[in-house]
Structure 1
Amino acid sequence: MAANVGVMNIALNAVEERADELAALGESNEKLGRLDDSTAKILRDTGVIKMLQPAEYGGAEAHPRDFAETVMRVASLDGATGWVAGIVGVHPWEMAMCDAGVQEQIWGADDETWIASPYAPMGILKPVDGGYIFNGRWQFSSGTDHCQWIFLGAFLGDENGERLMPPQSYHVILPRSDYTIVEDSWDVVGLRGTGSKDVIVKDAFIPSERAVPFSTMMDGSALAASGRTNPTYAVPFTTIFPLGITSAVIGIAEGALAHHMAYQRSRVQVTGTKVTDDPYVLFAISAAAEEIKASRTALLDNVTRIFDKVAAGESITFNERAASRRTQVAAAWRAVRAMDEVVARSGGNGMRMDNPIQRFWRDGHMGLAHAIHVPGSVFHATALTDLDVVPPPGPMLSMI
């Protein structure tokens, strides 16, 4: 079954119907330090988190472009909600290629079950009979209060629990009963409503089928073993995982612009000049709007091009993966820079805590700080691949 862009995006239409509710819940999310239960219910009702979930478990198996556009729209209404949609919404894509029995454990009784992360390898798997003993502590588990399972990054250890060299990275799947969420561990300047708390695992037993070598996601062997034929699942991990995060950042910039425009329509500056009569502010607004639109277009065109290639049975080269990451990172930075231009022209009242502009501004900068948006190694690696240094050395290979 192929995912077709251009067909009706049911989830996006459902989001539009609940847009006012999602926007109104933004302040509550921030005060709670996690998504309000009502916000999570809307995400469930609209089907956003299940867009990349397998059809046999009630999912849409959507085109990644449709997923990205939906995340952008949610984030334009509230940054924290869009962020959780973009991250938690990617996890069903990976789970679709994991062990079939594990999928049934998670979704068999309730296909609305959400899966958290993070993937950062902050734990160690110690081999034992039938599986592993697992320990570690992770930060930044977005939306974790509303999830009943989790993917956690790990390195493979030896019989003493010491990391093997060279490092071997795993994604480990655990039920809520096997990890502890650390309350009061999420006190940050932006994206406060995401509830991206720390989690701790202490001596959990992990059956072998719930420890997934990350290499199998990267080299396509997990997809081959799953038997899935929808090209959505053939899009590289390093394209699909950043997609949800960057879509949220672009949507946040769109939200900041929308609130700025609503605020400026009737604003009179301290000089007595209406904003609608100030050519300098009007120029900045238009320039920023085009930059944000360019970021959206670049990200959507990028994932569509990758999808079209895998749908045609073509492989994605390392060079193409690197260029894809460059486009994704650049799109996030371009959108946030443009957002800064309009926020800087919102006046002092734009920074009052009862004005949503400042929340979008804080959320956008927090989103840009995610490791997936760090440009240095990505741009370095992409330049080297363009100069035929393939693959580039050392850590620059990470997440390409």
Structure 2
Amino acid sequence: MTTRPIDAIGEIADQIRESAETNEQLTRVADPIAKGLRDSGVMKLLAPANYGGLESHPREFAETVMKAASLDGSTGWVCGIVGVHPWQMAFADPKVQEEVWGEDDNTWIASPYAPTGIARPVDGGYIFNGRWQFSSGTDHCDWIFLGAMLGTPEGEMAMPPTMLHMILPRSDYTIVEDSWNVVGLKGTGSKDIIVKDAFVPSYRVMNGDHVIDGTAQIEAGMEKTLFKMPWSAMFPLGITSAVIGIAEGALAAHLDYQRNRIGASGVAIKDDPYNLFALGEAAAEIKSARMSLLANIDEIWDLVDAGKEVDFERRAAGRQQQIHSAWRAVMAVDQIFARSGGNALRMDQPLQRFWRDAHAGLNHAIHVPSTTWHAAALSSMGFEVPPNLASMI
């Protein structure tokens, strides 16, 4: 691949930008945009080289997601969610890797990981049932990671609880149409998924707890820095990058909108010091959020690359910084949107879409600050962190 994915996305920037309204109407990314993303190689950034992946630095992945999201929030969100799945597939069983990528190494994989299914053990694997929400980009994916709890032979949840990541082909699950009716990120197609009595062989199952704590990567013999990165650094990265990219898109739309606007007081915005102050401050906040997120992933990469442990305290601090970056960017968007006048509310103005998408992005579980910041504070003081606070770290 001679063109970097971020440059390839730049080449179709107008197409992505112009498709934003269509994506919302379809409640999924339009087919031509999905093809453009597929051709760009964005979903190969974190994929293993033996299946045509680029094995890029996570910073490049984050910057590429930001670029896409600055053009259309839903498109960037799908890049961030779907784009991280090849990273995990790289340390799954080689047999399932071949099933997913053997004939087409650009096959996309969906999720979600919320353990809302039960996997009942049987000979050679599991019988799997459940329903999941929020499967972003799922219409364009042919495989899926689904979270589950290990069940008993009778179908009850086994104790102590064990979380699993089940890997299924499209033929084994149902996408629930018309299940994504939302106010923001409407074009992501984050629909519900249903699985009923699917047999999942053992080699298509990963221990979710081991994925999160890094044991799965060790057991798979991963040696490259990329695939030894902590889950809590990699999985949230694409999501927060999308939110920051959306904020950058909002800033650009605001600049276009305000450039020739006359405010309610009759003063041109370019001559209004109060608006200009808010604009300057918001631009600085969004840029700072971007740099904070990128610096954080760089620091964690450098630790892993040097063979050092990324302990719980550092992982918690990283999640704290990542969440803060997202909130910082979205609060800055609020400051400029509130100063854009009533016409910014009109549905033919892109600014309102970026504003809605930015707030929708904060609703993802990884952006909820309470438990993670609590855990980070306790850890920084040397106290033991209860499991319920550590679950997202």
Which TM-score tier does this pair reach, normalised by the shorter chain?
Answer: over 0.9
Alignment of 1:61-210 (within 5 A): 61-210=55-204
1-structure distance, mates of 2:188, 2:26: 9
2-structure distance, mates of 1:36, 1:57: 26
2-structure distance, mates of 1:258, 1:303: 25
Q: Per the alignment, in what secondary structure is the counterpart of residue 136 of structure 1?
A: strand
- Asked if residue 398 in structure 1 is aligned to residue 391 in structure 2, the reply is yes
Find the partner of 2:207 among 210, 213, 217: 213
Q: Per the alignment, in what secondary structure is the counterpart of residue 44 of structure 2?
A: coil
Write out per-residue CA displacement over residues 125-156 of structure 1, whole angstroms, 9 at most, x where no aligned residue. Answer: 00000010000000000000000000000000
1-structure distance, mates of 2:104, 2:242: 27
Displacement of 1:56 in angstroms is 1.2
Alignment check: 8 A CA contact 1:249 1:364 kept: yes
Displacement of 1:9 in angstroms is 7.8
1-structure distance, mates of 2:214, 2:185: 33
Write out per-residue CA displacement over residues 28-63 of structure 1, whole angstroms, 9 at most, x where no aligned residue. Answer: 111100000011011111111111011111110110
> Which residue of 2 is the match for residue 32 of structure 1?
26
> Which residue of 2 is the match for residue 48 of structure 1?
42
What letter is aligned with 2:54? A
Alignment check: 8 A CA contact 1:9 1:66 kept: no
Identity of aligned residues (%): 60
Q: Per the alignment, in what secondary structure is the counterpart of residue 49 of structure 1?
A: helix
Alignment check: 8 A CA contact 1:61 1:230 kept: no
Write out per-residue CA displacement over residues 89-116 of structure 1, whole angstroms, 9 at most, x where no aligned residue. Answer: 0000000000001000000000111000
- Provide structure 1 residue ranges, at least 5 long, that are not aligned to the other structure: 1-7
Write out per-residue CA displacement over residues 281-322 of structure 1, whole angstroms, 9 at most, x where no aligned residue. Answer: 000000000100110001000001000110111110000000
- Asked if residue 303 in structure 1 is aligned to residue 297 in structure 2, the reply is yes
Give the TM-score normalised by the residue count of structure 1.
0.97
2-structure distance, mates of 1:219, 1:27: 40
- Provide structure 2 residue ranges, at least 5 long, that are not aligned to the other structure: none
> Which residue of 2 is the match for residue 3 of structure 1?
none
Find the partner of 1:344 among 338, 343, 362: 338
Kindly report the root-mean-square deviation, in angstroms, between the aligned alpha carbons of the 2 structures. 1.0
- Asked if residue 241 in structure 1 is aligned to residue 235 in structure 2, the reply is yes
2-structure distance, mates of 1:320, 1:9: 35
- Asked if residue 226 in structure 1 is aligned to residue 220 in structure 2, the reply is yes
1-structure distance, mates of 2:13, 2:224: 30
> Which residue of 2 is the match for residue 358 of structure 1?
352
2-structure distance, mates of 1:249, 1:219: 25
Displacement of 1:225 in angstroms is 3.3
What letter is aligned with 1:70? T
What letter is aligned with 1:155? M
Find the partner of 1:57 among 51, 54, 66: 51
1-structure distance, mates of 2:193, 2:119: 16
2-structure distance, mates of 1:140, 1:190: 13
2-structure distance, mates of 1:228, 1:168: 23
1-structure distance, mates of 2:343, 2:55: 44
1-structure distance, mates of 2:64, 2:346: 29
Q: Per the alignment, in what secondary structure is the counterpart of residue 198 of structure 1?
A: strand
> Which residue of 2 is the match for residue 5 of structure 1?
none
What number of residue pairs does the alignment pair up? 392
Find the partner of 2:7 among 8, 13, 16: 13
1-structure distance, mates of 2:218, 2:152: 29
1-structure distance, mates of 2:3, 2:269: 37
Alignment check: 8 A CA contact 1:48 1:85 kept: yes
2-structure distance, mates of 1:357, 1:219: 40
What letter is aligned with 2:137? G
> Which residue of 2 is the match for residue 292 of structure 1?
286
